[in-house]
Chain A
Amino acid sequence: GAGVSQSPSNKVTEKGKDVELRCDPISGHTALYWYRQSLGQGLEFLIYFQGNSAPDKSGLPSDRFSAERTGGSVSTLTIQRTQQEDSAVYLCASSPDRGEWAQYFGPGTRLLVL
């Protein structure tokens, strides 16, 4: 079946602009995660959605970052007033809420802030 998809695959923007990154999880997966992977670094957790529960936003680095998930499916990560340090690969993953607990990752969006 279809995996997790993300768009755009690459995004170049100017400092100060807003960007929106989209994630389409695997159908039927109730959990959705956003991570950030900077060059040569590990994964930094950003935010987690589980069903209709309030999202876990504990990883968002500043109030410039926000995310929403509409209808329990598609999610959008928004970065306002981008800074150069926001340049990274943004990864989305989804997971069933039961079962093997593993996460299925999308290919990521590579963001470059000039």
Chain B
Amino acid sequence: GNSVTQMEGPVTLSEEAFLTINCTYTATGYPSLFWYVQYPGEGLQLLLKATKADDKGSNKGFEATYRKETTSFHLEKGSVQVSDSAVYFCALRKRTGGFKTIFGAGTRLFVKA
């Protein structure tokens, strides 16, 4: 079946450090891939997306590249800020056979000043 696996958190970094949150997926065909972010006390919001292989999604300094050969969609940011502290969810959605979105378990990021 379809699934999303994220690195376990929490991840604790100092401000301006480099961030990588790993995400791998299992799916047949060519799903669309997403990163959602949930800031403390707020609802989930879309951070970035990629809809086909080799696409790079980017937003707010975050990037993720759709790698079909490694079935990965790792989230990266070159220099994190305290305001990036949140829970990050990787997700996939297939184009056929239903529209259910599969979410990873989430990775909590703490950024220290």
Interfacial residues, chain A to chain B (CB-CB below 8 A): 31, 33, 35, 41-43, 45, 48, 50, 56, 58-59, 91, 93, 95, 97, 100-108
Q: Mask for B71-100, Cβ within 8 A of A = 1, else 0?
A: 000000000000000000100010100111
Assuming A102-B34, A106-B43, A107-B43, is B93 touching A42 (CB within 8 A)?
A: no
Assuming A41-B105, A42-B104, A43-B103, is B98 touching A105 (CB within 8 A)?
A: no
Query: B42 interface residue, CB < 8 Å from A?
Result: yes
Enumerate chain B residues within 8 angstroms of A91, measured Cβ to Cβ: 43-44
Enumerate chain A residues within 8 angstroms of B49, measured Cβ to Cβ: 100-102
Compute how far the CA of A59 lies from the CA of B102 in the bound complex, rounded to whole angstroms: 11
Question: From B101, which residue of chain A is reached at the shortest CB distance?
Answer: A103
Compute how far the CA of A85 lies from the CA of B99 in the bound complex, rounded to whole angstroms: 27
Contact of B46 among A31, A58, A97, A102 (CB under 8 A): A102
Compute how far the CA of A38 lies from the CA of B43 in the bound complex, rounded to whole angstroms: 14
Residues 27-70 of B at the A interface (beta carbon under 8 Å): 32, 34, 36, 42-46, 49, 51
B33 to chain A, nearest CB (A): 10
Enumerate chain B residues within 8 angstroms of A56, measured Cβ to Cβ: 98-100
Question: From A6, which residue of chain B is reached at the shortest CB distance?
Answer: B43
Contact of A105 among B43, B51, B95 (CB under 8 A): B43
Enumerate chain A residues within 8 angstroms of B46, measured Cβ to Cβ: 102-104
